[in-house]
Amino acid sequence: MTALRGLHARLLLARLYLCTDARTEQGDLPEFLDAVLAGGVDVVQIWQPGLDPEQELAALEVARRAAQRHGALVAVHADAALAGRSGADVLHLDVDDHGTSAARAAVHPDVLLGRSALDAAAVRAAAADHGLDYFSFGPVFDSPSKPDVPAAGLDLVRAAATAAPALDLTAKPWFAVGGITAATLPQVLAAGARRVVVVSALTRAADPEAAAAELSGALREAWRSDPAAERYTIAAAASTGR
């Protein structure tokens, strides 16, 4: 993927989405982001509840610079004003956020819009929502980052794959999230996913670049072995809009 492609094309071709805190405890956000992006992360979201607005903005500026070096996308969680101030590529809405039309009106027309879903009904609604550019759902498995949310299981992945086949250019792209690691990824891929969101698989990794490369490599191989991938990839690379 290159930085010269438009945002929509880069989203369609994205496979690995990382949600991370601002690494305030470790103090290594620039180094960490360069490592995971070099390993194959396509989208990075900075989300650390409790940060003041200026800290958030500073962390997003670090992410923006790193993403530009690697041709990746930067996402903001549920804050349209912050997405605008930071120059983010993506605004990701939570399950309880207001309708997509209000969010779309609050951001630059080029900003990509995504939404989280928790169950099959919400997945179907997101897949049919013309205001969204993508959606994510989960947790698929028990997740240390969402300990109070019960796992939805692989049936939700199968429901998403039915509602929006992963490598069908007429369908909305989606990411499975929650408890996905190198060990659990094969099950998610077998259920029909071709894109995933990870958190602790990279934020807690001893070698973040190697961990990202392992996940990215497995996703790349799933795309290569999918009969729909070649036609999809060619068409997605030429995409100019939603």
Q: Do residues 8 and 36 make contact, with C-beta atoms less than 8 angstroms apart? A: no
**pLDDT of 95 above 90:** no
Instruction: Give the pLDDT band of residue 183 (cuts 50, 70, 90).
Output: very high
Here the tokens at position 172 are 């909305």
**pLDDT of 146 above 80:** no
Instruction: Give the pLDDT band of residue 1 (cuts 50, 70, 90).
Output: very low
pLDDT value for 3: 38
CA distance 212 to 32: 11
Over the stretch 24-45, which tens digit does the pLDDT of each residue have? 999 999 999 999 999 999 999 9
pLDDT value for 143: 83
Question: How much is the pTM?
Answer: 0.95
Instruction: Give the pLDDT band of residue 144 (cuts 50, 70, 90).
Output: confident
Whole-number average pLDDT of the chain: 93
Specify burial of residue 183 (Cβ count, 10 A radius: 0-12, 13-18, 19+): exposed
**pLDDT of 11 above 50:** yes
Instruction: Give the pLDDT band of residue 86 (cuts 50, 70, 90).
Output: very high
pLDDT value for 242: 52
Kindly write down the DSSP assignment for every residue of 35-67, as one continuous string: HHHHHT--EEEE--TT--HHHHHHHHHHHHHHH
pLDDT value for 5: 60
Mean pLDDT over 88-95 rounds to 94
Looking at CATH, the fold of the domain delimited by 7-237 is given as TIM Barrel (3.20.20)
pLDDT value for 2: 37
pLDDT value for 238: 87
* Percent of the chain residues topping a pLDDT of 70: 96
Specify burial of residue 148 (Cβ count, 10 A radius: 0-12, 13-18, 19+): exposed
Domain ranges of the chain: 7-237
